[in-house]
Every structure is written in structure tokens, then in C-alpha cells.
Amino acid sequence: MPLNVENAAEKADRDRVGSIDVFRGLTMFLMLFVNDMNDPDLGHVSGVPVWMEHAPGNVDAMTFVDVIMPAFLFSVGLCIPLAFQKRLQQGGSIPKAVLHVLIRSLGLIIIGLGMVNTYRFHPSAMPISPGLWELLFFVSAILVWNRYPKRDGRTPALFMGLRFLGVLMLLALAVIYRGTDGDGVTWMRTSWWGILTVIGMAYFVVSLAYLFLHRDHAAMVGVVALLTVLNIAERTGALPFLEPIRPYFSTGGILGGLGSITAAGAVAGMLFMSDWKTRPARERIRWLLGFALALFVAGILLRPPYGISKLAETPAWCLLSSAICVAVFAFLYWLVDLKGRSAWARFAMPAGRQPLLAYFMPHLFYSLLLVLGIDFLQEHLNAGYVGITRSLVLALLLIGLVKLLSKAGVNLRL
């Protein structure tokens, strides 16, 4: 999700699809790059070409930047079938799998809601600086959700103590948090749900659908269609009982629209299940390209009524983004798994193996700069192509730090 809940299962099986790691690594690299350019609370670069920014919410258009979050969601879905196949083959039950889904979804939602509130600090009402609060929040999250080594099947007391310390720190940070809503002082609340939160929700919905539909491929294609219908239905007012919660939570946009992208990833991932292993690789590629074409046509047909908009999570944007992700994944499967050409993507692999840690890195980096009082990047190298180059280099450096932290024992997976 969620970011990497499926990675351990893939590693246990060397038949895993290398293109999944490459797809996920490239997605994380691009996310680090464009977030540094476009997120005002991170690096932010002025004078960036329009095609390197998110399309405005009132414009019927999308840029490549608008496809990166869907690629994140798609990669979550890609890994769901392989992970649960391994879990069930090792003797796991459906109830245990459901509990697994619930725990990991809640973890993402908790982290996501904490991250959302870092955008609305009330500095004068806080007992510590916003930069220190944010730094401690991410350090605490790493302590809680790090996968510590085990001995004799048990986690040593030291590591359990570190996890408990992380929980206490998160509780303390929640208690002292103060935010702003206009001129007032508030506690934690949602202003928007945040990427990790919506990924947790989409993961929950699609995983349960996958498990309770008995891992049926055709049924999961139907889930993509059903979630798209849910997205449309809320917009047409066909679900009046959802109107009271719509100002706070878009069931159609979040569960329907974003969920449909994750479900599309699960459909693609199911092509690498055990019952597909005897089929020729070219059949997988044909299926993926046909699926991408169907999603693309559906997106074009649904463009007139709602337009293409990431901010509004319109059906056309969701379907077109899914089509692009499926087509790119089909190409990567051909290039990486069939042709064996993966060395070119080695730079991104640490982020592909630990996407949640990679997602944390810019927040850790910039909050540390705030604590140290270093504002060089806010005042220099922050405009035009010089700033773009800086964001590119920083994304590569942060992936390098992910690799170093991984070697040091940080194994952040929900």
C-alpha cells in the first residue's frame, strides 16, 4: 500500500514476477520526484511546465503526474492475489486472512490520518515545533510497523520494547497535537483523507472482494465494473442515503473510483496465479492489452458526462489511469520477465521493495531540515529546470537512503 503488504509472500516464491517490483519501484521514484516539485509542504519548485503538474480541478484533462497515485493503487492490487495465494497455501484460513486485511488497513488509515494533520499545525498552540512533531511521528511509525527479526519464531524483548515505545510516542504525539481550522485551535481532524488512508480503504474493499469471491478472475473483472458503477451512481444522486456523509467522505470517489483502480491491479495480478502458469506468456500479454483497451474505451465513453479530473476522482480519470497502468505493466512484463532486461531499473528497486519507507523519506528529510533550521532548499535551487533537476537528484538520493536503511535492519511493511 497495502503499500508492501504482499512483498514478503512474493520473496518466499522465486517465481515472483520481477516486473511487479519494477513497476512499483518506478512508481515510487516518480512519486518522490513529482512530490518534491509540487507539494508546498515538501520541496516545491516554481516555474514547472504545466505537463509536470497536476491538472487543475476545473479542467477536463490529466497529465502524467495525475497517473502516479493511480499507479500506487494499481501496484497494491497487483500484489493481492500472489500474497493471498501464498498465505492460503501455507495453511492460512479465510478468517485469518480477513483479520490480516483488517489490521493492515487500519495501520494505513492511522498513518494516513496522522500525515493529513501535518498540513494544518497551529505552531503557537503546540508544546513542540511542527517540524519536531512530524519527525517524531514518522520515527514512531517506523518503530511500530518495522518488521523486526525473529529468533525461534519469536520477536526478542528488545524489539518488542521498541515497538511499544513507538506506540507510546504516537499516543503522546496525538495528545499534544494542535491544529488550526481558520482562526481556531482544533485537535486532529480530516481535511482530506490522504493517500495512505484511501489506499488502506481501497485495499480493504478489494481484498475482501477477492477473498469472498473465491479468487475468481471473471468475478474480479465484475468488481472493477461494479465499483465504477458505484462511482457513477453517487454522482447521479442514485444513492440518496449517502448524501449526509458526502461532505465528509466520497463513497463513490474513494471506494468506487479509487477502489476500481486497485481492483484492476488485482485482475492483472491474477494472471500470474498458479492456474495461469501453464499458459503461454503471450496469452497473458494479449489479455493485459485487451483489458487495457476495454478500460480505455470505457474511460473515453464516460468522459462527456463527468470530464477527466483527478481531484474529483471522476470515472473517466479512474478508467483511463487504470488503462495506462495495465498497458505499462504489460510492457514491463514483456521487457523484464520475458526479455530479462531489468538492470536499467536497478536504481528504483530499493523503493519497489520498501515503498512505505520510500514514501516516508521526504517527510523525514524535510522535517529534519526544519528541526535543524536549514532552509537552503526553500531559498535556492527551487525554480525552473534547476529546481526540477534538484528534485530528480533528491529522489535518487532518498532511494539510496532507503537502501542503506534496509541494510541497517529497517524493514517497514504493514
**Crossing angle between the packed helical segments 157-176 and 130-145, to the nearest 10 degrees:** 150
Residue with grid cell 468475478, as numbered in its chain: 219
> For residues 78 and 339, what is the distance between their CA atoms, to the nearest angstrom?
21
Give the contacts of 366 (CB within 8 A, at least 6 positions apart).
41, 42, 43
Q: Grid coordinates standing for 261?
A: 483502480
Query: How is residue 35 written as a grid cell?
Result: 512530490
Sequence-distant (6+) residues with CB within 8 A of 39 are none
CB atoms within 10 A of CB 54: 18
Write out pLDDT tens, residues 219-276: 999 999 999 999 999 888 888 887 777 777 788 888 999 999 999 999 999 998 877 7
Three-state DSSP state, 414: coil
Helix (H) or strand (E) holding 144: helix 130-145
- Is the entire prediction scored with pTM above 0.85? yes
Closest of 102, 184, 108 to residue 141, by C-alpha: 108
Q: Cα separations (Å) of 213 from 73, 180, 221, 223?
A: 20, 44, 11, 10
Listed residue (101, 339, 321) closest to 211, CA to CA = 101
CB atoms within 10 A of CB 297: 12
Q: What is the CA radius of gyration of the chain?
A: 21
**pLDDT, mean of each 10-residue run, the chain (414 residues):** 40 64 95 89 84 89 95 94 80 83 91 89 91 96 91 81 96 94 81 84 94 89 96 88 76 92 96 81 94 98 94 95 98 95 94 93 93 85 91 96 94 78
Strand partners, 412: 146
